[in-house]
Amino acid sequence: MNSLIETYCSPEWLEFVNFHKKVFNFPAKATIFNQGDITEGFYTINYGKIKVITHEAPEKIRLIRLAADGDIFGHRGLFGNWKYPVSAITLAPTQAFFLPIESFTQVVKSNSELSYQLIAFFVEELRLSEEKNIIMPVKNKLAKAILMNYRAFGFESEKSNRLSHTISRQDYADYIGTTYETVIRELSILNKADIIKTEGKTIIIRNLKALEKLAKAF
């Protein structure tokens, strides 16, 4: 449970967390919670991979973020109307720790450093969300999306530049707000430029610096 809670809770409150938390195991492609569900608690990934999406219209999905080992999710349902404004879906077999909302509230109120770190996390997430609204060419948005995929899940190993899990082409399209066909075309362009290499559904990053330059061009 290498998470904000584990890192910034005092020892006595960490015991409280360990007593009240629940552990859930999910297969790949499982829905952990749906947009509109009542907020029941706060999750931390022990191991696995998830995507967080929102339904902006009946036929329009937007990928919000990816999360992996040690990451938190479910926080978007905190406060307000206490409903999840997003859905969380597993991309691989996933084990998650769940802390009921009443327990989470007590922990946050009693650990100032944890509260501070959570605020910092929320601010950074808001900044990244605002960045997505910047007008830029699709190739630059796709570069950002591939970097997001890399930063969330990393490479297969220290000696490999193959993404450990490449999200689907449709997920890329849902993240940058374009079509599946456009993603295929732009991936081909990046492939020809030797910035990435595609092998089936997998992406290999051939030139990370060039990819980062594209992502930061705007």
Instruction: Give the pLDDT of residue 201.
Output: 94
Distance CA 96, CA 210 (A): 35
Q: What pLDDT is attached to residue 59?
A: 77
pLDDT digits (tens, 9 = 90+) for 90-100: 999 999 999 99
- Tell me how far apart the alpha carbons of residues 114 and 192 are, in angstroms, rounded to a whole number: 46
Tell me what pLDDT residue 78 has: 78
Residue 218 has pLDDT above 60, yes or no: yes
Question: Is pLDDT above 50 for 1?
Answer: no
Chain centre to alpha carbon of residue 8: 21
**pLDDT at site 152:** 95
Domain annotation for the chain: domains and CATH numbers: 4-131 (2.60.120.10), 138-215 (1.10.10.10)
Closest residue by Cα to residue 92 from 46, 59, 161: 46
Instruction: Give the model's confidence band at 56: pLDDT under 50 very low, under 70 low, under 90 confident, else very high.
Output: confident
Q: What is the mean pLDDT of residues 2-9?
A: 80
| Alpha-carbon torsion (36, 54, 116, 100), positive or negative | positive
Percentage with pLDDT > 90 across the chain: 70
pLDDT tens per residue across span 113-157? 999 998 898 888 888 777 777 788 999 999 999 999 999 999 999
pLDDT in tens, 62-77: 999 999 999 999 888 8
Query: 81 falls in which pLDDT band (50, 70, 90)?
Result: confident
User: Does the pLDDT at position 83 exceed 80?
Assistant: yes
> Which range among 49-53, 65-69, 85-89, 120-124 shows the weakest confidence by mean pLDDT?
120-124
Q: Is the pTM of this model over 0.85?
A: yes
CA neighbor of 167 nearest in space, from 189, 142, 190: 142
